[in-house]
Amino acid sequence: MGTKDFKRIKIGIQHPDKQTVVNWVLTPFTKDQAPVALTGIDNAASAVKDWIAGDTFDQLMNKYN
């Protein structure tokens, strides 16, 4: 895109206690983590739909953060 000036949606992760962040991010979700990850993905999809519908990014941050 040639710029860092664009909006993005991030789904947060916890910081790993005993491994590097790269290995943590690339590790499959555990049975307990999967529902939390799916909820985050669902919320991100809802945020995109609301953004398309006209909500500002500030409104979305207040609603979903």
pTM of the model: 0.72
Residue 53 has pLDDT above 90, yes or no: yes
| Tokens encoding 36 | 């939390």
Residue 64 has pLDDT above 80, yes or no: yes
Residue 4 has pLDDT above 80, yes or no: yes
Residue 10 has pLDDT above 90, yes or no: no
